[in-house]
Amino acid sequence: MAIDVIGLTAERAAALLRGRECTSEELAQAYLDRIAAVDGELHSYLHVDPERTLAAAREQDASGGDGLAGVPIAYKDLLSTRGVPTTAGSRILEGFVPIESADVVRWGDEAGLVSLGKTNLDEFAMGSSTEHSAYGPTRNPWDVARVPGGSSGGSAAVVASGCAPWALGTDTGGSIRQPAAFCGLVGLMPTYGSVSRFGVVAFACSLEQVGPMTLTVRDAALLQQVIARDSDRDATCTGPREPIALPEAGRLDGITFGVPRAELEAGVEEGVRARFDESLAIAESLGARLVDVELPYARHGLAAYYVIAPAEASANLSRFDGVRYGLRVDAPDVRAMYEATRDAGFGAEVKRRIMIGTYALSAGYHDAYYVQAQRVRTLIRRDFDAAFGQVDAILLPTAPTTAFPIGARLDDPLAMYANDIFTLPVNLAGIPALSVPNGLSEGLPTGLQIIGPAHSENLLLRLGAAFEAEHAFDPVPPAMRSAS
C-alpha cells in the first residue's frame, strides 16, 4: 500500500505496524521516498543510507517486535551512531565513524526504532538557525527562504516536512525548543540529568540534554519513555524520578501558571505576543489561574550563558587536535599541525566561542567572568525555585520571533544569541521545558513554552496536551501538503 507519511505521527505509525496495515520496510521506504522528493531543497539530512535503513526495517519486520518496534526516527548528527558517520556539523569530524552509539541511540535500537539518518545542525550545536553547519543551511518547511531555527534545525525540518515521524534533538540553550517553535512542532527539553549524554558530542556539558521533537505531545511522551533512563556511563544522569506517562488532554482546574510579565517587555514580536496572550486566555478558560511572577535575574541569563557555555566548549573542543581521528592538516611540527588542523576544521562561530571561553577561563579573567557567571547561574536557579514555590509552571513564548530569513542575522551574533533569551535561563537552571505549537503569526508557527520544576515532565506533558487540544494546530506546512 502507499503510505502517506505527511503528518503521520509515530503513535499512528506504530498502530499501523501493530495492526499489520504496513510493514516497517514499507514505512521506511515511504519516508526514504519522501526524503528523496523534498530534502534536496530542505537539506535537513546530512547522512542517509537507504540500504542500511531498509535492512534495519526488515530486521524489525522479521523479529515481530511490539510497542514502537519498526517505527522510523531521525537523529541529530550530534548523537554518535556506531558505524555511521557522525560529524556534529563540522569539517573537523568529516568522515568520522563512531565506535559506539550514544546511549539514547542504543535505547532507540533496543526499542526497535529504525534510523532514517542523521540531521543537520549548527556546527557543534552552536547556533540558533542551522546556518552555522559546515555542510550548508537547512531550510524551513514553512518557508524555504527562512531558517528552521537551531541548533536542532535539521531534526525540526525532517519532522515538519514528513521526512521522519519524529526525531531526537539536543538542547543547550534552546536548541530543541526554538526550532520546534519555528517549525510548528512539539519539543521537550528534559530535566538535566534525566537523559544520558553519553555519546552526545559535547558542546556545554552542564547545560545540554537530549530530547524529543515530535508532531504531538503524546509522541513526545512516547519518545521520552524510550530515552529517559538511568545510565552508568553518564555520572550526571540518574534517569527520570517517575515513569513518563502518556498524557491526555483535559481541564486545568487547580493549576496555577506564572507569567513573568517583565520579561515579556524585552522585544517580543507583535504576532508572537498576540498568540501568547491568546494562550493565556485559553489557560484561564480551562480553569487555570494566572499570576505574575518575577524572575529578576533571568535577564542576565544571556550574559551568563555566553560565558559558561563557551568556557565548557573551549575545553570540550580541545580534543579535536588531529592526533587520533578526524581531520588532520599536516605541518612540520605538532604545534603547527594543531593550529592548521583546527583552523581548517572549525567554522567562524565555533572559533568565536572557543576564543570567548578560553578568555573567560584565563588567569586574571577567570573570577571576573567564569566565577561571576556561575554566581548569576545560582541566582537564576533561585529565581525559578522561588517562582515554583507559588506556581505549578511558568508560561513564556519559546522565542521572541518567528523564523527569520536565511542570512538575516549571520553578521550579527548578538542578535542571533538574543533569539534564545526565553530558553537559555531554563538550561542554566537545569529544569525541564516543553514547547508546543501556539498558532501562526503571518503564516509562520509560534511556540508556547511551559517551564516546570525539576522532574515535572509528566505535568508539562499534561499541560501541553491541554493547549494542543485547544489549538487544534495542523503541524503540516501548507507547502509540504502539495509537495508530495
The answer to whether 482 is a known catalytic residue is no
Is residue 375 involved in binding another protein (CB under 8 A)?
Answer: no
Instruction: Kindly state the smallest distance separating residue 72's Cβ from another protein, in Å.
Output: 23
Nearer to another protein, 86 or 449 (CB): 86
For another protein, which residue of 100, 109, 278, 470 counts as binding (CB under 8 A)?
A: 100
Q: Which stretch, 15-23, 311-319, 395-403, 452-460, contacts another protein (CB under 8 A)?
A: 311-319
Dihedral angle, C-alpha 302, 304, 309, 311, nearest 10 °:
140
For another protein, which residue of 233, 251, 375, 481 counts as binding (CB under 8 A)?
A: 233
Instruction: Kindly state the smallest distance separating residue 15's Cβ from another protein, in Å.
Output: 34
The answer to whether 175 is a known catalytic residue is yes
Strand partners, 23: none
Is residue 80 involved in binding another protein (CB under 8 A)?
Answer: yes
CB 166 within 8 A of CB 214: yes
Q: What are phi and psi of 291, to 5 degrees?
A: -130, 150
Instruction: Kindly state the smallest distance separating residue 79's Cβ from another protein, in Å.
Output: 8
Is residue 107 involved in binding another protein (CB under 8 A)?
Answer: no
For another protein, which residue of 30, 57, 84, 88 counts as binding (CB under 8 A)?
A: 88
Instruction: Kindly state the smallest distance separating residue 103's Cβ from another protein, in Å.
Output: 9
Is residue 315 involved in binding another protein (CB under 8 A)?
Answer: yes
Binding to another protein (CB under 8 A) within 170-199 occurs at 197-199
Name, in order, each residue with C-beta under 8 angstroms of 79's C-beta and a sequence gap of 6 or more: 86, 101, 102, 104, 105, 118, 168, 170, 199, 200, 201, 210
The answer to whether 151 is a known catalytic residue is yes
Is residue 372 involved in binding another protein (CB under 8 A)?
Answer: no
Instruction: Kindly state the smallest distance separating residue 80's Cβ from another protein, in Å.
Output: 5
Instruction: Kindly state the smallest distance separating residue 200's Cβ from another protein, in Å.
Output: 5
- Binding pattern for the stretch 203-222 against another protein, x by CB under 8 A and - elsewhere: -xxx----------------
Contacts with another protein by CB under 8 A lie at: 79-80, 86, 88, 93, 96, 98-100, 102, 197-202, 204-206, 232-236, 311-312, 314-315, 318-321, 323-325, 334-335, 338, 358, 361-363, 366, 370
Active site members: 76, 151, 175
